[in-house]
C-alpha cells in the first residue's frame, strides 16, 4: 500500500458513485487500506460512468481493494459485521435508514467495535424532515446556494461541469473522519461523521447569509467576476484571453505601472478596494483595452515581471504541457490493464514526510475477494464457493 500518513488504518467503503467513494479515495491516497464493497456481478455504477470511455472509476477507486457482497441478504450483512469488527472506519452514502434496515446501523456496529468511526454521506444529513429524501450533488448545490449564483446574470442558473457538491461532501467527510480519529486517540471511542451535501456546499457560501440578514442583500449571478472585487477577470488578448487578478491595493499599483499608467495606482477612483469595486465595469473595460494590444503570452510575461497574478484557462492538454505541472508531478502515469497512456491527477495535499502514492487504478470487480474473505476473515475455499453459488459474494 501507499506509504502515507494513514498507513495501518482500515476503511470499509460501502456505497456508490462519488459522494462516498471520493472520501475513500482521499484516504486511500494517503495509505489507508480501503476495502470497497460492491454488489455481485454489477458493481458500483461508477464503473460505467465517464465521457466516451468509462474511465472515472479508475480514478475514484484507485488504491482500493474490491470485494463483492450482497448486502440485502442476512449472510452478506453478517460478513459486513465481521469486517466492521476489524476496521477503523466504515464509510457509506446510502439513503439514511438503509443501513438500519439491514441491521447495520450505528448502534449495531458500535456495539461490535466501539472504536469504529462511521462516516455517513447523504444529500440532507441523517436527521431533519428531508433526511429520507434521495439527494444528488446537483440538488445539494442548488439548496446550498451555489447554483443560484453560478452563471451569467441574464441567463438561468448554471453549474460547473463537475460534481462539486458530491466532492465537497466527501472532502468534509474525510476531514470529519480525521477529527474523529483524533478524538478516538484521546478517548478510545469512535463516533458518527454526518456529512450532508447541501451543508458542505453551504459551508462554501462565504458571507452570503449575513449579507441578507444584516444588509438585506442577495447575491446574484455575475458571470466571470466576483462583485466588488476588482480587477479580477478574464481579459481579451490578440490571440485569446487571460485571467488577471490585481484586486489587492499593492498589486493594483504594480499592475497600473505594468500598463504604463502608474498614475492610476494613486487615482482616488481606483486606489482602494472599495473604489475599484464601485467602478468594476469601467476598470475592466480599461484593462481590456490594454490587454488586447498584446498576445496572451506577452501579457502573462509582463504580469510575472511585475508580480501580478495571472494565468491561462487550462484544459487537460495545457496541463500536460506545463513545466510546473511536470516539475511537481501534479499529473502522473499509472499502469492500467486495458488502457495505454493512462494519466490522472496525483495525490493532494502534499505531505513532506508521508506524501502518499497512487499504486494502482480502480480494481476489477471482486479482485480482492480471496484476500479479504480468505486471509482477513479466515473463510475456507468451500465456504467461499458456496457463497458465490448463492449470490452472496
- Tens-digit pLDDT profile for residues 110-167: 999 999 999 999 999 999 999 999 888 999 999 999 999 999 999 999 988 899 999 9
pLDDT computed for residue 135 by the predictor: 87
pLDDT computed for residue 2 by the predictor: 43
User: Taking the CA of residue 110 as centre, how many other CA atoms within 13 Å lie in the half-sphere pointing to its CB?
Assistant: 12
Q: How far apart are CA 86 and CA 193, in angstroms?
A: 19
Tell me the whole-structure pTM to 2 decimals: 0.93
pLDDT computed for residue 53 by the predictor: 87
Torsion, CA 211, CA 213, CA 214, CA 215, rounded to 10: 60
- Per-residue pLDDT tens for 46-80? 999 888 789 999 999 999 999 999 999 999 999 99
pLDDT computed for residue 51 by the predictor: 81
Give the residue carrying C-alpha cell 502534499: 350
Tell me which residues of the chain have a pLDDT lower than 50: 1-2
Encode 141-171 in three state secondary structure. Answer: HHHCCCHHHCCCCCCCCCCCCCCHHHHHHHH
Q: What is the set of domains in the chain, with CATH numbers?
A: 10-203+330-389 (3.40.50.10540), 232-311 (3.30.1540.10)
Let me know if 44 is a catalytic residue. Answer: no
pLDDT computed for residue 194 by the predictor: 98
113, 71, 115: which is closest to 92 by C-alpha?
71
Strand intervals (E) in the chain: 10-14, 33-38, 64-68, 89-92, 117-122, 192-196, 232-237, 240-245, 310-311, 331-333, 343-345
Q: Which of 166, 267, 359, 364 is catalytic?
A: 166
pLDDT computed for residue 234 by the predictor: 96
Task: Determine contact, residues 1/63, Cβ cutoff 8 Å.
Answer: yes
Give the residue carrying C-alpha cell 487578478: 245
Is omega for the bond preceding 231 within 30 degrees of 0, making it cis?
yes
**82 SS3 class:** helix
Is omega for the bond preceding 306 within 30 degrees of 0, making it cis?
no
Crossing angle of the two packed helices 249-258 and 296-306, in degrees rounded to 10: 130
Task: Determine contact, residues 120/177, Cβ cutoff 8 Å.
Answer: no
> Residue 355 — φ and ψ, nearest 5°?
-70, -15
Amino acid at each position: 500500500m501507499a506509504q502515507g500518513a494513514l498507513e495501518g488504518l482500515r476503511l470499509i467503503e460501502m456505497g456508490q458513485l462519488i459522494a462516498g467513494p471520493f472520501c475513500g479515495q482521499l484516504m486511500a491516497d494517503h495509505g489507508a487500506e480501503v476495502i470497497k464493497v460492491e454488489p455481485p456481478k454489477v458493481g458500483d455504477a461508477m464503473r460505467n460512468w465517464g465521457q466516451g470511455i468509462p474511465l472515472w472509476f479508475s480514478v475514484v477507486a484507485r488504491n482500493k481493494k474490491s470485494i463483492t457482497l450482497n448486502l440485502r441478504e442476512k449472510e452478506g450483512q453478517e460478513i459486513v459485521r465481521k469486517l466492521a469488527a476489524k476496521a477503523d472506519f466504515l464509510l457509506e452514502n446510502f439513503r439514511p435508514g438503509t443501513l438500519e434496515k439491514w441491521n447495520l446501523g450505528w448502534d449495531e456496529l458500535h456495539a461490535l467495535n466501539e472504536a469504529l468511526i462511521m462516516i455517513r454521506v447523504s444529500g440532507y444529513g441523517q436527521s431533519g424532515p428531508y433526511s429520507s429524501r434521495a439527494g444528488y450533488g446537483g440538488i445539494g448545490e442548488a439548496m446550498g446556494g451555489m447554483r443560484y449564483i453560478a452563471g451569467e446574470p441574464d441567463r438561468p442558473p448554471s453549474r460547473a461541469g463537475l460534481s462539486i457538491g458530491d466532492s465537497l461532501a466527501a472532502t468534509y467527510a474525510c476531514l470529519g473522519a480525521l477529527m474523529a480519529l483524533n478524538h478516538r486517540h484521546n478517548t478510545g471511542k469512535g463516533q458518527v461523521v454526518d456529512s450532508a451535501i447541501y451543508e458542505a456546499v453551504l459551508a462554501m457560501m462565504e458571507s452570503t447569509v449575513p449579507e441578507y440578514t444584516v444588509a438585506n442583500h442577495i447575491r446574484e449571478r455575475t458571470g466571470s467576476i466576483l462583485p466588488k472585487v476588482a480587477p479580477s477577470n478574464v481579459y481579451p488578448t490578440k490571440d485569446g484571453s487571460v485571467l488577471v487578478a490585481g484586486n489587492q491595493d499593492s498589486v493594483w499599483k504594480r499592475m497600473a505601472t505594468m500598463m504604463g499608467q502608474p498614475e492610476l495606482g494613486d487615482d482616488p477612483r481606483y486606489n482602494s478596494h472599495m473604489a475599484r469595486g464601485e467602478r468594476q465595469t469601467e476598470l475592466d473595460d480599461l484593462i481590456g483595452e490594454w490587454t488586447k494590444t498584446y498576445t496572451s503570452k506577452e501579457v502573462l510575461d509582463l504580469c510575472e515581471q511585475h508580480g501580478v497574478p495571472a494565468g491561462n484557462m487550462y484544459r487537460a492538454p495545457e496541463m500536460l504541457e506545463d513545466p510546473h505541472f511536470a516539475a511537481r508531478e501534479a499529473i502522473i502515469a499509472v499502469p492500467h490493464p486495458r488502457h495505454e497512456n493512462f494519466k490522472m491527477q496525483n495525490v493532494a495535499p502534499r505531505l513532506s514526510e508521508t506524501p502518499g502514492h497512487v499504486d494502482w487504478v480502480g480494481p476489477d470487480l471482486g479482485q480482492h475477494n480471496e484476500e479479504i474473505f480468505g486471509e482477513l476473515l479466515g473463510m475456507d475455499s468451500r465456504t467461499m464457493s458456496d457463497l458465490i453459488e448463492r449470490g452472496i459474494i
